Amino acid sequence: MSATRRNRNDFAGVKGESRDAHATSWSAGRLGPGGRRLIAAGTAYSAGALHSGTVTKVGFASPAKASDYGWNQQGFNGAKAAAAATGSQFKAITNIGYDKTDVILRQLINGGAKFIVAHASGYDTIATRLAKQYKVPTITYDVPTNLTKGLVSYITTSSQEGAYLAGVLAAKTTKTHKIGIIISAADDNWYKMSGGFAAGFRSLDKSSKIFFATVSPTGYDDAAGGKRVADSVIAQGADVLFTMGDNASFGYLQAVESATVGHKVWMIGDIGNMTPIDKKHVFLSSVLWNFTGVFTQAIKDVNNGTYGTHGYNLSLKNGGISLLKSKYISAGTWSQIQTAQASIKAGTITIPVAHNAKAVQKLIK
């Protein structure tokens, strides 16, 4: 996930082309009579039709299923909760990949959506064009230049803030004094989080070894590759892994669960919470992304006429970014994490922002 999700999805068509779309409808958060039925593609609005005024229905489109314990699930849950909070119906079409974005977004428009979450930065160009064509307010990711009054806004993240806290946690947890950072792809948010994590770790531990590994340039959904790389880092002695990956995260978890190296190995995840599938008690924490607040505010901004005049950001201060507190984190360690969090919110800790592997490596040293 992410990214925001992020530069990853600019590889349109690379993945998900054979996926079957899943559609789900809610009214104020409940399953509606439409169930899992797609809106007929033949229904059409004229290009000049206006969808203005109060948002009564929220549309959501994502590249993968809302069961990934990451980007897609967090976005789906956030949009559903925002719809319920604002008294709107909710229509989601998930698992659409990247090759039919235009068709799916039109289905949401034709189905009466008055606000659309195009939940992938790879959807930005098409989503922006359709928002202007059909006059349907739409939220995208990462690109401030798409800002259009009344119609288009965007989400960014300060994910490095939560990653800094994860670094503090890793420094307090490691016993081998070797840890790993694994990213699934060359992604700006992964670099930001990797740099933030390294800075947090180094704030307490100046000497322990930090391994930094990448699955592949676009290995977001490569679970097998994730396991292979995680196995390698674990074999070098790392006992805490900070992992970023989408479906690659399932491979990371498998590697940590199956590790037989004579000591406990922990996994810190990203975006979502994999605790429900952690059968071996190795999932230490996660840098969580919560979209509910920004989606809810965006809908309110549409309703009061201020949408499209500014962007939205996930941060520690607004609750969009947080560190998961698991039962495996001691009270003393959590207190230290909370102290660091308060300092970040107050601006007394400045976290460097890395945008590439070279910048991450500088922070690791």
Contact by Cβ (8 Å): 249, 221: no
Cα distance between residue 208 and residue 178, in whole Å: 6
Provide the 10 A C-beta neighbour count for residue 146: 23
- Maximum alpha-carbon separation in the chain: 66
Q: Which segments of 111-242 does DSSP mark as H helices, in order?
A: 124-134, 159-173, 188-202, 223-235
Cα distance between residue 47 and residue 105, in whole Å: 14
Cα distance between residue 125 and residue 294, in whole Å: 21
Provide the 10 A C-beta neighbour count for residue 125: 16
* Nearest one of 364, 363, 14 to 185, comparing CA atoms: 14
**Tokens 């956030």 -> residue:** 78
Check residue 137 and give its pLDDT.
98
- Taking the alpha carbons at both ends of the chain, their separation in whole angstroms is 27
Cα distance between residue 72 and residue 60, in whole Å: 10
pLDDT lower than 70: segments of the chain: 1-52
Residue pLDDT, tens place only, 184-194: 999 999 999 99
Residue pLDDT, tens place only, 29-58: 322 323 322 333 333 333 434 444 799 999
* Nearest one of 136, 125, 122, 107 to 48, comparing CA atoms: 136
Sheet containing strand 283-289, edge to edge, reads 209-214, 178-183, 240-244, 266-271, 283-289, 321-323
Contact by Cβ (8 Å): 283, 267: yes
* Nearest one of 83, 117, 172 to 5, comparing CA atoms: 117
Residue 42 makes CB contacts below 8 A (sequence gap 6+) with none
Contact by Cβ (8 Å): 336, 172: yes
CA dihedral for 93, 95, 96, 98, sign (positive or negative):
positive
Check residue 332 and give its pLDDT.
98
Check residue 21 and give its pLDDT.
55
Integer angstrom CA distances of residue 308 from 132, 144, 260: 12, 10, 52
